Chains A and B, each alone.
Chain A
Amino acid sequence: MAYRWTNDLTHADVTPRGAFLNRRQIMAGMAGLGLSTMAGRAQADDALEPNSWEDVTSYNNYYEFGTGKGDPADNAHVLTTSPWSVTIDGLVDRPGEYDFKDILSEMTIEERIYRFRCVEAWSMVVPWNGFELSDLLAMAGVQDGAKYVAFETLYRPEEMPGTAYRVLDWPYREGLRLDEAMNPLTLMATGIFGKDLPNQNGAPLRLVVPWKYGFKSIKAIVRITLTDEEPPTSWNMSNGREYGFYSNVNPEVSHPRWSQATERRIGGGLFAKRQPTLMFNGYQDEVAAMYEGMDLRKSF
């Protein structure tokens, strides 16, 4: 880990549009004074409009609470998220069941404004709060032989009505290669918009891997296991032809059922235009090196 990642999306991307326009006018004024580089930066930011709290918290895929996009917001409030503990085991120096509060006390929470791209070809911009996964892994002490990190979601049928149906093989499982897990972009989110994560967004602790399709960003994590083998992952187990282990956002590799060349930003209304999807969801500079020499059509 050579550097800590800094946002290229700014508060301008999450502030209300009115306030944002005011800021642009100020920037334009500054440009007139010769501060053209700053104005250029402001223009780059123009391409992204903020997603609202309502967008982020009412449109969710979280099949433990139902397969409809509104089901998680309707059903997830009954989930008990405190107390919460996370088991960290496998190839680590300090395995055990970590209390979520103890984890929080060790970590520095920061804000990360990331693009979020679903495999279903919709997207959002989300202001997450959280800490780097690498910091958590450092706390547990990753052993030399570890090559992958496996994650598991809570499986509690009495609070998760969606698990009554075997849409997926519960509990939900996901995984990353160790270098992906250690990448400074990889975030363990504990909040959005400076508030605690709403249950439908994966409270109290979820993964955010912004250059991968959203389903990699597993919610309500109860177990993290360091292994030397590629771990089985839920969508890959359910339909390996459609959902690869890597699932990097890639406009050139079409999903069997959806073209990935374009996407639609949530919140644009009935006449929202599609926009081109960016390689690695726009994080190419930060992550492409990890996949050098790999055929991303095969390892999709």
Chain B
Amino acid sequence: MRDRLNQSLRHLPTWVVYIVGTLPAPWLFYQGLTGGLGVEPIKALEHEYGELALQLLVFSLAITPLRKFAGINLLKFRRAVGLLCFLYVTCHLMVWLVLDVQIPGQIWADILKRPYITIGMAGFLLLLPLAVTSNNWSIRRLGPLWRKLHRASYVIGLLGAVHFILLVKGVQIEPLIYLALIVGLLLLRLPTGRAASSGRVRRQGV
């Protein structure tokens, strides 16, 4: 079963992932234009893009544990997932800048003054170098440094979840689920997790 899945995944070209993953961006924008996102489309669009970005972030962080613990190999798609995440974070940010806040003087003030925006912005800035180095040339060029650099995604995941928790009113369940997922996926990377999976696969002590 697992082998058959991996087999078919091997035959799935990455360009399919890029195309399918990009389509929701213009589709959601069109929905916003034509009333499909309700009577306050700016906030709805901002939220949709942000949530998709967070889901892609969770997915990208799940790829390594999936291979380690379930034997499902999605490594080939990790770059696509990461870049799509960057695309949606950028869309989310653009909606906030251009459609939501609108007032240039207020943008910088908001970044400095409001923790959830500061944290969101930090996440975006950390994501930038990862997106820029998501190509074969950079991997060759940076060598071992590339792996270290891309561990920033752990921090970005946490920033994204905290950003969501802080922006909602009251204690809401949905952003807490994202945080739990991200923390869980990061815990699976702890050395004990690695030891348990090395050699004979013993699923314990995770």
Contact = CB atoms under 8 A, between A and B. Distances in A.
A270 B41 contact: yes
A259 B40 contact: no
A51 to B, nearest CB: 9
Contacts, number: 65
B116 A257 contact: yes
Contacts of B113: 254
Given A63-B170, A70-B38, A259-B110, A270 B32 contact: yes
B39 A270 contact: no
B6 interface: no
A257 B38 contact: no
Interface stretch (A12-20, A163-171, A194-202): A163-171
A272 B42 CA distance: 8
A238 B106 CA distance: 27
B114 A256 contact: yes
Given A267-B39, A272-B42, A273-B102, A257 B170 contact: no
A54 B173 CA distance: 28
Given A270-B33, A270-B99, A167 B172 contact: yes
A262 B116 CA distance: 19
B45 interface: yes
A274 B40 contact: no
A84 interface: no
Contacts of A271: 99
Nearest to B110: A259
A264 B43 CA distance: 11
B167 interface: yes
A59 interface: yes
Contacts of A67: 168-170, 172, 174
A283 interface: no
Interface residues of A, number: 33
Nearest to B31: A270
Which of B32, B33, B41, B168 is packed against the most chain A CB atoms within 10 Å?
B41
A261 B169 CA distance: 19
B103 interface: yes
A264 B39 CA distance: 12
B171 interface: yes
Given A165-B172, A165-B173, A271-B99, A257 B167 contact: yes
Nearest to A54: B39
Given A167-B172, A259-B106, A270-B45, A69 B38 contact: yes
A238 to B, nearest CB: 6
Given A259-B106, A262-B103, A270 B42 contact: yes
Which of A70, A238, A257 is packed against the most chain B CB atoms within 10 Å?
A257
A58 interface: yes
Interface string B172-204: 111000000000000000000000000000000
Contact of B170 (A59, A168, A272): A168
B42 A274 contact: no
A266 interface: yes
Nearest to A264: B42
Which of B44, B99, B106, B170 is packed against the most chain A CB atoms within 10 Å?
B170
A300 interface: no
A73 B201 CA distance: 50
A67 B170 CA distance: 9
A280 to B, nearest CB: 22
A201 to B, nearest CB: 14
Interface in A120-178: 120, 122, 165-168
22 contacts: A58-B38, A59-B39, A67-B168, A67-B169, A67-B174, A69-B38, A122-B43, A165-B172, A167-B170, A167-B173, A168-B170, A238-B170, A258-B114, A259-B110, A262-B103, A267-B39, A269-B41, A270-B42, A270-B45, A270-B99, A272-B42, A274-B102
Interface of B: 29, 32-33, 38-45, 99, 102-103, 106, 109-110, 113-114, 116, 166-174
Interface of A: 52, 54-55, 58-59, 63, 67, 69-70, 120, 122, 165-168, 238-239, 254, 256-259, 261-262, 264, 266-267, 269-274
Given A120-B169, A273-B102, 19 more contacts: A54-B39, A70-B38, A122-B40, A165-B173, A167-B171, A238-B170, A238-B171, A239-B170, A257-B116, A257-B166, A257-B167, A259-B106, A259-B110, A261-B106, A262-B103, A266-B40, A267-B39, A270-B29, A274-B103
